[in-house]
Amino acid sequence: MEIMQVMDTLVCTYRLAGLEKMHLRILRNTKGKTMVAVDPVGAREGNWVFTSSGSAARFACPDSSMLTDLTIGGIIDHWNPDG
């Protein structure tokens, strides 16, 4: 798991079957790297979230056959990124 911040929503007109109803978010990790994750929890821009990656990311989705390797698992209510 890794803590990341939601930067924006990614809009895609065409998607693979199974991804058509899933929100996509652009995330930035604490080192500044940007990635795209599926969002089954409804995170918004600016939220800090925790993610699961790799094959475990599929099991954080409502449908475990989802084609993803990064999934938002939850929205963090209170966290100070500066320690």
Show me where the domains of the chain are located. Answer: 2-75
pLDDT of residue 20: 73
- Cβ atoms of 71 and 58 within 8 Å: the answer is yes
Per-residue pLDDT in tens (0 to 9) along the chain, 83 residues = 899 999 999 998 887 777 777 899 999 998 999 999 999 999 999 999 999 999 889 888 888 878 889 999 999 999 887 76
Q: How many CB atoms lie within 10 A of CB 60?
A: 23
At 38 the pLDDT is: 94
CATH superfamily, domain 2-75, is: EutN/Ccml (2.40.50.220)
Reported as type and span, the H/E element at residue 58 is helix 56-59
pTM: 0.88
